[in-house]
Structure 1
Amino acid sequence: MQTIIIVFLCVVILVQNITHRIERKDLYNRIMANDLTEYNQKPIKHKSVKCAIRKNHDGRRE
C-alpha cells in the first residue's frame, strides 16, 4: 500500500514538472513576441545569450 502511494506521488510530481515546463516556455514566447499576432503565428526560436554576446563582440574586449 505504501509503495502505491509513493509511486502515485512521484507520478503527480512528474506530471506537474512537465506542465510547468510547458507553461514557462509558453510564457517566455509570449513575453518575447512583439505583438499578439506574432505570438499566435508560430513558436519563436531565440538564440542563447552566449551566442548573442559572441556575435556582438566577435571576441574583442573593449
Structure 2
Amino acid sequence: MYLIFLGIFAGIIATVSFFIVFPASVLDDYYLHRPYEIPPLILFTMALIFFYKKRLYLKKDVIY
C-alpha cells in the first residue's frame, strides 16, 4: 500500500510539472534548473529500495 501511495504521488508531481511552469526552471539564478524532478526521483528511489528490501519480486501478484 505504501509503495502504491509513493508511486501515485510521484506520478502526480511529474504530471503537474508538465502544465505548471516552476520559477526555477526559467530563471538562470538557480543552480538547479529543474527542481521539480527531485521529489519524483527520491520517491522512485525509495520505492525501489522498499521493493527489493521487502523482496516483493518473489511474491505472486494476482494483478500482474
TM-score class, shorter-chain normalisation, is: 0.3 to 0.5
TM (norm. structure 2) is 0.37
TM (norm. structure 1) is 0.38
Greater helix share, structure number: 1
Larger Rg: 1
Q: Relative CO higher for 1 or 2, CA cutoff 8 Å, sep ≥ 6?
A: 2
